[in-house]
Structure 1
């Protein structure tokens, strides 16, 4: 198995911290008028939002983290690494194309949808078959987490239509997408540690 550098722990670990910290701080700056249960993260990064600079910076940082993690995750299949990197690029573009304060944006929504799809499918594409691999790169966990993200996306779309808990659904899915690279990196480093001879 190709080695995963320890610095990948930093890039993969910073991703969920930036995302979650970003929406918490931006939500506090937005004030009581913002409802995190029903409103999306994009509202926090919209033009003119009080905390837009925080949320935009968090999304930009998230994209950079995914790019570095994809670079360092040498144990994963190339297709998965490319999908993770492309998801990072999509996060950068989302940060550069915030939604208008008056409502949705086709450009913003399209890039966000592409980014979601890439980050949902990368675990399956990264999985290795036919040899002992780290837990995070095995087919069953990889397919399971992709399926979980798909269910979360369906919940998000359903609640967006009926004005339900879309904010909760979006946060759940994006949190899973931000945390999974860290899970994979940790599993690779632990697997390597078991394989290395003592002494």
Structure 2
């Protein structure tokens, strides 16, 4: 059995496609004067916007894609997968409770959005922590640079996981500082959400490539 099943590979590819196609088509459908740099992605699904169901459907599909990918990422520690899956569920809730208009945000929408952004940014760091704990139990007698650590796929190595989370959390902080009246809130949200859909795809493709080159790792621990 492959470490990452085909359906998780498909969902990891679908996530960025749904996000980018959704915000692009929805933005194109707006009347002249729409400011994608200043207006958030969520505003495109708010009541009163042209064809708001385009982005609503894409956000719901995006959340489901994250959830499916989290289930299929077997080589990733379980705690990180649960956190990642929570980010997917929260994304579905963002779609289910849209903004009332460009300026009014229901509390449930705001809470779901914060949970989604934080969970999707934090799960690589959570995976890194779990790897460190696991390796400490196994490598008490080995030096820190032992082969067992170096043999991890590079995307699962603690420094990489921590760096990915720091970058995505920093982008999320930039977004928070732009709300509610920042002139580049739309750009900040797109960059944050874009990073959070690209990283799982990078992880999945790296694991698939590694499995092909190391058949003995097809059954990966969770």
TM-score range normalised by the length of the shorter chain: over 0.9
Instruction: After superposing the two structures, state which structure 1 stretch, 137-146 or 120-129, moved more.
Output: 120-129
Q: SS where residue 7 of structure 1 aligns?
A: helix
| 1:66 has 2:66 as partner | yes
Greater Cα radius of gyration, structure 1 or 2: 2
Instruction: After superposing the two structures, state which structure 1 stretch, 138-147 or 156-165, moved more.
Output: 156-165
Q: What does residue 10 of structure 1 align with?
A: 10
Q: What does residue 173 of structure 2 align with?
A: 154
Q: How many residue pairs get matched?
A: 196
Mapped to 2, the partners of 1:171 and 1:122 lie a distance apart of 19
Match of 2:203 among 179, 184, 190: 184
Matched-pair contact (CA < 8 Å) for 1:12–1:181: yes
Matched-pair contact (CA < 8 Å) for 1:38–1:167: yes
Q: What does residue 50 of structure 2 align with?
A: 50
Mapped to 1, the partners of 2:175 and 2:186 lie a distance apart of 8
Matched-pair contact (CA < 8 Å) for 2:70–2:82: yes
Q: CA deviation at 1:192?
A: 1.3
Q: CA deviation at 1:172?
A: 0.2
Matched-pair contact (CA < 8 Å) for 2:122–2:169: no
- Aligned-residue Cα RMSD (Å) equals 1.6
Match of 2:153 among 134, 144, 147: 134
Instruction: After superposing the two structures, state which structure 1 stretch, 187-196 or 155-164, moved more.
Output: 155-164
Q: CA deviation at 1:33?
A: 2.6
Mapped to 1, the partners of 2:166 and 2:31 lie a distance apart of 35
Which runs of 5 or more residues in structure 1 are unaligned?
A: none
Which runs of 5 or more residues in structure 2 are unaligned?
A: 136-148, 217-222
Matched-pair contact (CA < 8 Å) for 2:40–2:186: yes
Post-superposition Cα deviations, 1:158-180, rounded to whole Å, max 9, x if no partner, equal 22255221110110000000111
Q: What does residue 24 of structure 1 align with?
A: 24
Post-superposition Cα deviations, 1:20-78, rounded to whole Å, max 9, x if no partner, equal 11000000111323211011011101012112101000100001101110111000000
Match of 1:165 among 184, 202, 208: 184
Distance 1:105 1:29, change over 3 A: same
TM-score by length of 2: 0.83
